[in-house]
Homo-oligomer: A and B are copies of this chain.
Amino acid sequence: MPGKRKRSPTRWRKFSRRTPPGADPGTILPDASAPRPRISLIAYGPTGFIERDCATPEAAAAEMGKHAVVWVNIDGLGDADTISRIGELFGLHKLALEDVVNTHQRAKVETYGEQVFIVIREAAFTDHLEMDQIGMFLTRDAVITFQECAGDAFDPVRDRVRKRKGRICALRADYLAYALCDAVIDAYYPVLERYGELLEDLEDETIERPTRHTVERIHSIKREFLTLRRAIWPAREAVGSIIREDLPNIHADTKLYFRDCYDHLIQLIDMLETYRETGGDLMEVYLTSISNRMNEIMKVLTIISTIFMPLTFIAGIYGMNFSTTSPTNMPELHWKYGYLFALGLMAAVAAAMIAYFWRQGWFGGRRAR
């Protein structure tokens, strides 16, 4: 009763869809309270590299075609006009753009003409699980990414481009798309490792010191595993289809890297499913823990009752008021050591009871049966 139940941040009503039923397909209706779009651009090739923020979509579009690879990143989806304008300038399909602003898509890969549209979900764990959607368009020489919120999953890739580290600057846009996907997927590892620790703590709590709130925590962690599952499994399918299918703009040598990425997803699924099975068992473990606790409580009650009931009964007998004028009526009352006899009788009974429970192993330490 005391203490407020902390609300888990991943609540069901988050599933809401912004576009109303029956609306014209391709309607762009972002959440007005979402952060407003911020456009930044990185362009590079085997030789050059530029990075800048763009005030308008037009400024970004102006750089198209001048570099080997152009990467336009939009953080925040809170303005329908900007999003639509970007869609027009870069020739993005309306159905894909609708998915970008309805930020509860499953991970997926779709082809619209010569463009590949990839949706992937990003996970972060601060003090709770946060999931954001990333929409990515891959054209021949550009990658356009839409992030629900400004996350930091892309930072290592930016660094690699800036410092011209590794192969990235020598390769094409599809390798950039891979590098971004890989960075997002690898960011699941620390999240899952954190959940591993939480789960371990929860196991200890469940087995060693279960409280009324433990069941809430188990239920809550299971729900978050479901959320993660809904993010990772479709990502596996999506990356799998990139490897298997013949998609435009994705070259055979990049597929080798996507295969590595797929491998990581399989590992993540492995970890998550192991957690889920263990989490599923915990409720059962909890139930046995409280049943054991009940047994302990009942034992105390039974031991106390079993010892004191006979004693009280004996005391009750010698509290009866039979007239002792008849010699057969309670002669003990007049014995010289009657009282000591009665106390001794009581002590004997109590000792017998305690011995019985001891032999039954009810005093935990020895043996349970």
Instruction: Report A's interface with B, CB cutoff 8 A.
Output: 1-2, 5, 11-13, 15-17, 19-26, 95, 98-99, 104-106, 108, 110, 153-157, 159-160, 165-168, 179, 182-183, 186-187, 189-190, 192-193, 196-197, 199-200, 203-204, 207-212, 215-216, 219, 222-223, 226-227, 230, 256-257, 259-260, 263, 266-267, 270-271, 274-275, 277-278, 281, 283-295, 297-302, 304-306, 308-313, 315-326, 328-330, 332-340, 342, 364-365, 367-369
26 contacts between A and B (CB under 8 A): A2-B365, A5-B204, A5-B208, A15-B193, A17-B186, A17-B193, A21-B189, A22-B154, A22-B155, A22-B159, A23-B156, A24-B167, A25-B182, A26-B166, A95-B256, A104-B267, A106-B267, A215-B289, A226-B278, A281-B283, A287-B287, A294-B295, A301-B302, A304-B306, A311-B313, A325-B334
A17 near B305 (CB under 8 angstroms)?
Answer: no
Complex Cα distance, B206 from A22, in Å, reads: 36
- B residues near A186, Cβ cutoff 8 Å: 17, 19-23
- B residues near A367, Cβ cutoff 8 Å: 209, 211
**How many copies of the chain does the oligomer comprise?**
5
A294 near B293 (CB under 8 angstroms)?
Answer: no
Min CB gap A288→B, angstroms: 5
A211 near B323 (CB under 8 angstroms)?
Answer: no
Partner pick for A274 among B230, B259, B334, CB 8 A cutoff: B230
B106 near A270 (CB under 8 angstroms)?
Answer: yes
With CB as the reference atom, state the residue of chain B lying closest to A357. Answer: B300
Min CB gap A145→B, angstroms: 14
Besides A230-B274, A315-B317, A328-B339, 16 more A-B contacts (Cβ < 8 Å) are A13-B200, A15-B193, A15-B271, A19-B186, A21-B189, A22-B153, A22-B156, A22-B186, A22-B187, A208-B369, A212-B292, A215-B288, A298-B298, A301-B306, A320-B321, A329-B337
For the complex of A and B, list the 10 residue pairs with the smallest distance between their C-beta atoms, beginning with the closest. A22-B156, A315-B316, A12-B196, A21-B186, A24-B166, A318-B320, A22-B183, A308-B309, A301-B302, A329-B339
